[in-house]
Amino acid sequence: MNIQDIYDSRLKEQHDLFAKHINPQLVKVLRTIGFDKTYVKAEGQYLYDNDGHQYLDFLSGYGVFSMGRNHPKLKKALHEAIDMDTASMVQMDAPLLAGVLAEKLLEKLNQSIDAGASTRSYASTKLDTVFFTNSGTEANEGAIKFARCATGRDKILYLEHAFHGLTTGSLALNGNDEFKNGFGELLPGCTSVPQGDLAVLEYELAKKDTAAFIFEAIQGKGVYYAPADYLKAAQELCRKYGTLMIADEVQTGLGRTGKWFAFEHFGISPDIVTIAKALSGGFVPVGAICYHRNIYNKVYSKMDRCVVHSNTFGRNTLAMMAGITTLQVLEEEGLIANAALRGQQIVDGLNSMKDKYEMLSDVRGKGLIIAIEFNRPKSLKLKIGWDLIHKVNSGLFGQMVVVPLLSKHRILTQVTGHNCDIVKLLPPLCINDKDVEHFLTAFDAVLSDCHRFPGGAWEVGYQLAKHALSA
Ligand code: PLP
């Protein structure tokens, strides 16, 4: 049976089949908020449903499709790789494409590290070694192991609101309890510290039992980031107390923030950097741990430890080719500069609406990772609606924005974080003037509706609240 036959014969069963065999709760949510679309085609920043409607994708598969979907150069490269019948995953070999991708990744990383050199008081840590993974969480799991082995310490510090993945090690570093509840005891020795608070960080580091401080320079959940010099000072402290810095660039890496890596905005020089998502080009899962040879030497300390940390699929031909081509496309098509430009246009456009809309309280982000935060209104009528909705569920107001953005304007966005009123934008880096204008016009219309009480937008809120209560 070929793929077209499957699409032709079973498309109508899509949601039922998924509910029956995979995740009925997710299907219930999709149906409740009207996200149960049947997308059948995708190109660049657009999705298409089975009725031919075009949608602007401001979610990009949680950050996977930085260069847009189904990029022709990547399709060609992958077709070529398949047609070459390469000797992939021999395992007892040293694959050429892995070496080439590692070289390219390290070049970009060290450029980002060098960019902040003049503003640092400590020496940079040039990164020269790569371990390839299949996902972001696997990259962070490996980074935890490497840091523990290299320092001989167990403890890992992480930031409030952090998200580093959902396997048990990465989950132990999650700043939202909602993700952890119900899964028993996780990796011991993991402690959360508040973002921006150097005193608390130093208090923990001074115990000299911390292997690593892991952070997202710009956090995926809620798009929070610390004041300008926090990470730089944190790194001074880490150096002082012998703790390694792990920059989780799984979501922010490869141009998302308008620079190759988010840590570049903060002039730091991490000891370990983890990457995934966009490196795949949206086709072949791939991640990477990029680190320093000193750390490698501690982990892989003798010949009989040469595969002491290893995996089966990590360096496969298609994943390596996806990574090599992704880096090439990002560079050739100027997508990182485009992310900076479009991000600024969106932030400026949103900020200009603040005077009109009292519930629009904060717009933050860098490049094309943007949070739009709402707060409780002052005017009496709106306050009634706000309080009613929040009594049921504090994440519902965001849905009142996200739902009509999709149903009325065909723009896919998401609510981010737990129990907060934040809508997040994570578009592909290839969006253009027209897309920005379409989003800003749509968002203006949606917020205008939300600021009319009673009205259609609040009706959506009540319907969602009713479902939440009955769930
Ligand atoms: N780290 C960050 C910052 C992420 O945003 C994510 C995923 O959203 C992960 C790690 C986990 O990556 P994956 O879902 O590929 O395991």
Sequence ranges of the domains in the chain: 37-67+335-470, 80-332
Q: pLDDT by residue (tens digit) across 366-411?
A: 999 999 999 999 999 999 999 988 988 878 899 999 999 999 999 9
Residue closest by Cα to atom 12 of ligand 1: 136
Name the residue of 225, 275, 277 to mutate for ligand 1: max ligand atoms within 8 A of Cβ.
277
How far apart, in whole angstroms, are the C-alpha atoms of residue 300 and residue 150?
Answer: 10
* Residue 222 pLDDT exceeds 80: yes
SS3 letters for 193-234?
A: ECCCCHHHHHHHHCCCCEEEEEECCCCCCCCCCCCCCHHHHH
Q: pLDDT by residue (tens digit) across 23-45?
A: 999 999 999 999 999 999 999 99
Ligand 1: centre distance to CA 287 (Å): 10
Q: What is the pLDDT of residue 469?
A: 67
Q: pLDDT by residue (tens digit) across 247-261?
A: 999 999 999 999 999
- Give 69's DSSP letter: B
How far apart, in whole angstroms, are the C-alpha atoms of residue 189 and residue 156?
Answer: 6
How far apart, in whole angstroms, are the C-alpha atoms of residue 32 and residue 402?
Answer: 13
Q: Which CATH architecture has domain 37-67+335-470?
A: Alpha-Beta Complex (3.90)
Question: What's the CATH fold of domain 80-332?
Answer: Aspartate Aminotransferase; domain 2 (3.40.640)
Q: Which two tokens stand for residue 262?
A: 């988010």
Ligand 1: centre distance to CA 134 (Å): 11
Q: What is the pLDDT of residue 457?
A: 87
**pLDDT band, residue 284 (cuts 50/70/90):** very high
According to DSSP, the residues that pair with 155 across neighbouring strands are 210
Ligand 1: centre distance to CA 290 (Å): 16
Q: pLDDT by residue (tens digit) across 107-142?
A: 999 999 999 888 888 888 899 999 999 999 999 999
Residues 6+ apart with CB under 8 A from 149: 295, 298, 299
> Which numbered atom of ligand 1 lies nearest the CA of 165?
11
According to DSSP, the residues that pair with 158 across neighbouring strands are 192
Q: Is the whole-model pTM more than 0.95? A: yes
Amino acid, res. 324: I
Residue 233 buriedness (CB in 10 A; 0-12 / 13-18 / 19+): middle
Q: What is the pLDDT of residue 1?
A: 84
Residue closest by Cα to atom 13 of ligand 1: 136
Residue closest by Cα to atom 9 of ligand 1: 165
Total length of the chain: 471
Residues 6+ apart with CB under 8 A from 358: 377, 378, 379, 382, 451
Percentage of residues in the chain having pLDDT higher than 90: 90
How far apart, in whole angstroms, are the C-alpha atoms of residue 240 and residue 127?
Answer: 20
Amino acid, res. 333: E
* Ligand 1 pocket, residues with Cβ under 6 angstroms: 62, 135-137, 140, 163-165, 216, 220, 248, 250-251, 276
Q: What is the pLDDT of residue 354?
A: 97
Tell me the backbone φ, ψ of residue 227, rounded to 5 degrees: -55, 155
